[in-house]
Structure 1
Amino acid sequence: MGYSVILQVRGRRAVVVGGGKVAARKIRGLLEAGADVVMIAPKAEPELQALAAAGTIGWCIKTFAPGDLDGAFLVIAATNDRGVNEAVAQAAAPGQLVNVVDDPERCDFHVPAVVRRGPLTIAVSTEGASPAVARRIRRELEEQYGEEYGPYLEFLQRARDIVLREVDDVEGRKRLFRALAADSFRQNGRWDEELAGLLAKEKERGEERRGENDEDSNIHC
Structure 2
Amino acid sequence: MYRRGHQPRPWRTRFNAEDRAESVEDGSTGSGSGGLFFEEVNVFYPVYLDLRGKRVVVIGGGEVAQRKAASLLDTGASVIVISPEVTPYLGALGDQKRIELRKRQYVRGDCTGAVLVFSATDDPEVSRNVYREAIALGIFINTADQAALCSFIMPAVVQRGDIGIAISTSGTSPALASRLREKISKIVGPEYERFAELLSRARSEIRRRVRDEQDRKQLHYRILNSDIMALLKANDLAGAERRLRELVEDSVYGQRTP
| Same fold? TM cut 0.5 | yes
Note the alpha carbon deviations across 1:93-129, whole angstroms, 9 max, x for none.
4331111123213212111111221110111122322
Within 2, Cα distance between the matches of 1:184 and 1:80? 52
Secondary structure in 2 aligned to 1:69?
A: coil
Residue number in structure 1 paired with 2:254? 205
Decide whether the 8 Å contact of 1:15 with 1:76 is kept in 2. Answer: yes
Q: Select which of 224, 227, 245 maps to 1:181.
A: 224
The answer to whether 1:162 aligns with 2:169 is: no
Residue number in structure 1 paired with 2:40? none
Within 2, Cα distance between the matches of 1:96 and 1:183? 46
Residue number in structure 2 paired with 1:64? 106
Q: Which amino acid aligns with 1:185?
A: I
CA-CA distance at 1:15 after TM superposition: 0.4
Within 1, Cα distance between the matches of 2:117 and 2:75? 15
CA-CA distance at 1:183 after TM superposition: 6.6
TM-score (norm 2): 0.74
Q: Select which of 82, 85, 88 maps to 1:46.
A: 88
Decide whether the 8 Å contact of 1:40 with 1:62 is kept in 2. Answer: yes
Secondary structure in 2 aligned to 1:48?
A: helix
Q: Structure with the greater relative contact order (CA < 8 A, sep ≥ 6): 1 or 2?
A: 1
Q: Percent identity?
A: 38
Q: Select which of 244, 248, 255 maps to 1:195.
A: 244
Residue number in structure 1 paired with 2:141? 98
Greater fraction helix: 1
Q: How many residues align?
A: 206
Change (3 A) 1:98 1:183: farther
Moved more, 163-172 or 87-96: 163-172
Residue number in structure 2 paired with 1:217? none
Change (3 A) 1:23 1:127: farther
Note the alpha carbon deviations across 1:48-72, whole angstroms, 9 max, x for none.
1222222211110011101211211
Decide whether the 8 Å contact of 1:75 with 1:96 is kept in 2. Answer: yes
TM-score (norm 1): 0.85
Within 2, Cα distance between the matches of 1:134 and 1:183? 32
Within 2, Cα distance between the matches of 1:162 and 1:137? 37
Q: Select which of 84, 94, 97 maps to 1:55.
A: 97
Decide whether the 8 Å contact of 2:60 with 2:83 is kept in 1. Answer: yes
Q: Which amino acid aligns with 2:45?
A: Y
Q: Which amino acid aligns with 1:125?
A: S
Secondary structure in 2 aligned to 1:67?
A: coil
Secondary structure in 2 aligned to 1:90?
A: helix
CA-CA distance at 1:39 after TM superposition: 0.5
Decide whether the 8 Å contact of 1:74 with 1:98 is kept in 2. Answer: yes
Secondary structure in 1 aligned to 2:227?
A: helix
How large is the RMSD of aligned CA atoms in angstroms?
Answer: 1.8
Within 2, Cα distance between the matches of 1:82 and 1:34? 30
Matches within 5 A, 1:1-221: 1-92=43-134, 93-182=136-225, 184-189=227-232, 190-205=239-254
